[in-house]
C-alpha cells in the first residue's frame, strides 16, 4: 500500500511539474524575445537561447513612449482602488457576517448575484451616468467605479464566518462597539483573506484595458496597458520592443504576488470553509 501511494504521489508531482512548465513557457518566450533582435523573434527554428542578449531594448522603449507617466498613472489607479476596495469589502463583509438585521441574507444574495452580470450589459448606461456626472476622462471616475466589489465582499465574508462568534459576543459584553470589534478582533484576523483580495484586485486593476480605453482620452492620463497598445500601433513590427514593454508591465504584478503568495492559498482555502 505504501509503495502504491508513493508511486501515485510521484506521478502526481511529475504531472504538476509538467503542467507548471507548460504554463511558464509563454512567459519565458516573452522574456527571451524581449532580449532578441526584431528579426530573430519569430525565427525558424526558434532559438530558446539567443546568440546575444540585447538589453538595449529596455532602454529604447522608455524613449519611444512616455512609459514612466503610464506607470505612474497605473500605479496611482491600482494602489488607491485596491486600498479603497479592501476597506469597503471588509466593512460590508463584517456587516453581512457578524451583524444581525432584517433582510441581511436577502440583501447579501442580491448583492452577490451581481457578480454573474457581465460588465458589457451595463457598460453603456454606466458610461452615460459617469458622463452626466462629469467623471469621464479622469482617474477619479475609474477609481469610483471599482471601489466596491461584490466578489471582494463575498471572499472576505466567507472568511469572517469562520471566526468564532464567541469572540464577538465576549467583546460586546466587555463594552466594545461594533466598530471596536471590527478594528480590534475581526480585521486583524483576516490577513490571509485580505492578501488574497489584494492580489485579485491589484492584478485586475493593473491589467484593466477596457475601462481606461473607454473613459480616458488624454494621453497624460492613460495607463500602461493603453501605452502598450499605443506602442503596438506605432511599432507593431518591432516585436522585441513590444515584448520588452510587456515584461516591464508584468513586473509589479509579480512583485505583489511574491509578497502576498504565502497568504494566498490560506486565504482561498479559509474563505471556502462555510457557505
Tell me the C-alpha distance between 118 and 149, whole Å: 14
| Whether 272 contacts 196, CB under 8 Å | no
Kindly report, residue by residue over 55-99, the tens digit of the pLDDT. 888 888 888 778 888 999 999 999 999 999 999 999 999 889 888
Residue 238: how many CB atoms within 10 A of its CB? 20
Query: Is the bond into 45 cis (omega within 30 degrees of 0)?
Result: yes
Tell me the C-alpha distance between 165 and 97, whole Å: 10
Across residues 202-225, what is the average pLDDT? 89
Tell me the C-alpha distance between 125 and 128, whole Å: 5
pTM summary value = 0.82
CA 132, 212, 267, 262 torsion-angle sign: negative
| Whether 147 contacts 85, CB under 8 Å | yes
**CA-based Rg of the chain, rounded to a whole angstrom?**
23
CB-based contacts of 166: which residues, under 8 Å, 6+ apart?
none
The two most distant CA atoms of the chain are separated, in Å, by: 73
Say whether pLDDT at 269 is over 60.
no
Domain positions in the chain: 56-271
Tell me the C-alpha distance between 218 and 136, whole Å: 11
Kindly report, residue by residue over 149-173, the tens digit of the pLDDT. 889 999 888 888 888 888 888 888 8
Specify the fold of 56-271: MetI-like fold (1.10.3720)
Tell me the C-alpha distance between 55 and 70, whole Å: 21
Amino acid at each position: 500500500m505504501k509503495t502504491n501511494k508513493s508511486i501515485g504521489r510521484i506521478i502526481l508531482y511529475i504531472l504538476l511539474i509538467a503542467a507548471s512548465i507548460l504554463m511558464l513557457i509563454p512567459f519565458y518566450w516573452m522574456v527571451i524575445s524581449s532580449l532578441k533582435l526584431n528579426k530573430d523573434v519569430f525565427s525558424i527554428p526558434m532559438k530558446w537561447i539567443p546568440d546575444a542578449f540585447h538589453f538595449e531594448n529596455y532602454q529604447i522603449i522608455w524613449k519611444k513612449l512616455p512609459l514612466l507617466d503610464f506607470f505612474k498613472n497605473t500605479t496611482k489607479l491600482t494602489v488607491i482602488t485596491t486600498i479603497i476596495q479592501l476597506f469597503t469589502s471588509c466593512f460590508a463583509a463584517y456587516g453581512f457576517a457578524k451583524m444581525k438585521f432584517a433582510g441581511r441574507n436577502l440583501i447579501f444574495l442580491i448583492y452577490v448575484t451581481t457578480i454573474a452580470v457581465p460588465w458589457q450589459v451595463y457598460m453603456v448606461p454606466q458610461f452615460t451616468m459617469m458622463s452626466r456626472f462629469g467623471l469621464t476622462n479622469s482617474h477619479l471616475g475609474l477609481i469610483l467605479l471599482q471601489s466596491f466589489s461584490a466578489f471582494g465582499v463575498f471572499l472576505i465574508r466567507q472568511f469572517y464566518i469562520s471566526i468564532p462568534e464567541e469572540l464577538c459576543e465576549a467583546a460586546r459584553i466587555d463594552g466594545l462597539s461594533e466598530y471596536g470589534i471590527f478594528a480590534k478582533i475581526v480585521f486583524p484576523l483576516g490577513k490571509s483573506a485580505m492578501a488574497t483580495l489584494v492580489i485579485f484586485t491589484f492584478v485586475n486593476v493593473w491589467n484593466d484595458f477596457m475601462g481606461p480605453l473607454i473613459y480616458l482620452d488624454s494621453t497624460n492620463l492613460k495607463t500602461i496597458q493603453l501605452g502598450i497598445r499605443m506602442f503596438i500601433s506605432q511599432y507593431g513590427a518591432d516585436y522585441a520592443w513590444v515584448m520588452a514593454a510587456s515584461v516591464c508591465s508584468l513586473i509589479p504584478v509579480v512583485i505583489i504576488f511574491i509578497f502576498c503568495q504565502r497568504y494566498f492559498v490560506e486565504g482561498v482555502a479559509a474563505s471556502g470553509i462555510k457557505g
